[in-house]
Amino acid sequence: MTIPLNGAHRSSCNGIETLTEKKLCFCAWALAAIPAKPKELFLIPMGKIHNTALDEAFLDRYTFCPDKPALSSYLKVLILKR
């Protein structure tokens, strides 16, 4: 599975290119037939997106359980992942 980012790039994201460690931004995608009950959720640090398409191996690194809270300690782990 590959998800194209259809023209979304850093220059169109209101200052994303000027982010520092003090200002972190995450992209959250939920995939579901019913929006209120997503089957898959991806929390991806914007600084980790370097391509115009995201393959399954990349998305597997940032899969998140929709039924659990996104604690700051978990978000820090996502930022530090390679």
Task: Write the pLDDT tens digit of every residue in 7-27.
Answer: 444 444 554 445 444 567 888
The yes-or-no verdict on residue 32 having pLDDT over 60 is: yes
% residues pLDDT > 70 (the chain): 71
H/E run at residue 72: helix 72-80
CB–CB of 64/81 below 8 Å? no
Q: How far is CA 64 from CA 10, 40, 76, 79, in A?
A: 24, 7, 14, 14
